[in-house]
Chain A
């Protein structure tokens, strides 16, 4: 029996996502300062990194759901997994495209074979392979089981891919973490930038949660439709 959550929480989540996005947009264009070297194009950073974060978060959510499905065999977790993959692939694509647009004026190239870019592309390809895998299966139980196995394999290998390419030189800006701005186009964040960035990050995460919740509801309804259809035809 598939349960469905009540709608009040969902609406609140969607409302919160909308408000935060408006706030983030306002801060990106109104509050955050203009970067000294790169100028206004740097403002892409706030949504670019947030999208990348959501894409990777979704990858992990999909794998965790896969693990939960394999241990509990509840269809709900399979719904969460496919929703996470679908949403993740979109945010990953946004991250790659926005990064590319940012890169053109700053690095004078649309693309470079740097660890983070390659890893994100690999992640997108794993997502795409996942969707192709599900497409090639008719039995929903098998689809859920195989999807879960593949998402777990993916979450194990993609970080290792990142580490392995990291051995090679990187020109991707290292803004957060080591603090060593050795790469071209790196910049130190002032406190205003940091605040704007955190709001953007929060806005995108809440947006992701809202999209996930609605997509899962869609998947649950699809599941119920499938159940009724097969019950009808098996008479």
Chain B
């Protein structure tokens, strides 16, 4: 296609952006509700990862406590890439990609919608994985602190992941490239999330956990803003 600078169409009024984003989320959720492909795949993949960890590490009782945050976040990170890849891949089929880009709204609104959709899928996955992990390994994961960390960590992961997945899907190597691009740059989120989770699980005093929570929140803010601003450069056509 002839290269033209991005046409934002309508001026970016806040109401407009959110309405558009919400429409994108609705579309993704509706499509997923009908097929249930993505969630099924993510769930099975996550369970397999947990199973592999069971054999890779000797998860006897004392080790479990120490290793649970790491195992959980590695599981989420890997299953998350499935969701991110799929989220953009479906748009490439059937010309939906061009349709999204031709829509007379700010491109960043599309990013917001996609990110929100991916975030919701990741939360649903986590809501399924946490009880299963809890039951399999007799670790109580239903502490409010831990659940908040899981949500915050997912925000950071998905915000960068949505941007980089949109990038990766347009290359020759497609899906394969997403983990390579994403994992080095999403490390601060993973590090803070794992350490904050570990703090909550071992019932450490709050002043030990706060630095990690603060870092996690800072990362979420920085990464989401950066991704939101950079997205339009990724989808110029």
Contact = CB atoms under 8 A, between A and B. Distances in A.
Interface of A: 70, 122, 125-126, 128-129, 132-133, 136-138, 141-142, 145-146, 148-150, 152-154, 156-158, 160-161, 163-165, 167
Contacts of B211: 167
Contact of A149 (B195, B223, B233): B233
Ranked nearest first, the 4 interchain pairs of A and B with the lowest CB-CB distance are A136-B171, A157-B185, A136-B173, A125-B184
7 contacts: A125-B184, A129-B184, A132-B177, A132-B180, A146-B171, A152-B230, A156-B226
A142 B163 contact: no
Given A133-B177, A164-B215, A149 B186 contact: no
Contacts of B30: none
A55 B214 CA distance: 29
Contacts, number: 86
B164 interface: yes
B187 A153 contact: no
Most chain B beta-carbon neighbours within 10 Å: one of A129, A153, A165: A153
Most chain B beta-carbon neighbours within 10 Å: one of A125, A133, A157, A167: A157
A113 to B, nearest CB: 12
Contacts of A133: 167-168, 171, 177, 181
Given A142-B170, A153-B163, A156-B222, A161 B236 contact: no
Contacts of A129: 180-181, 184
A142 B226 CA distance: 19
A147 to B, nearest CB: 10
B191 A153 contact: no
A164 B191 contact: yes
Given A138-B172, A156-B226, A160-B219, A145 B236 contact: yes
B191 A165 contact: yes
A137 B172 contact: yes
Contacts of B146: none
A136 B172 contact: yes
A161 B185 CA distance: 8
Interface string B93-117: 0000000000000000000000000
B8 interface: no
Given A132-B180, A156-B223, 10 more contacts: A125-B183, A133-B177, A145-B233, A146-B234, A156-B222, A157-B185, A158-B185, A160-B218, A164-B192, A164-B215
Interface of B: 3, 160, 163-164, 167-168, 170-173, 177, 180-181, 183-188, 191-192, 195, 211-212, 215, 218-219, 222-223, 226-227, 230, 233-234, 236
Nearest to A147: B167
A122 B181 CA distance: 11
Contacts of A132: 173, 177, 180
Contacts of B173: 132, 136
B171 A137 contact: yes
A149 B191 contact: no
Given A133-B177, A136-B173, A152-B230, A157 B236 contact: no
Contacts of B188: 157, 160-161, 163-164
A150 to B, nearest CB: 7
A160 B191 CA distance: 11
Nearest to B216: A164
Nearest to B172: A136
B186 A157 contact: yes
Given A153-B160, A164-B191, A146 B184 contact: no
A158 B222 CA distance: 13
Most chain B beta-carbon neighbours within 10 Å: one of A128, A136, A142, A152: A136
Contacts of A128: 180
A163 B170 CA distance: 32
Nearest to A141: B3
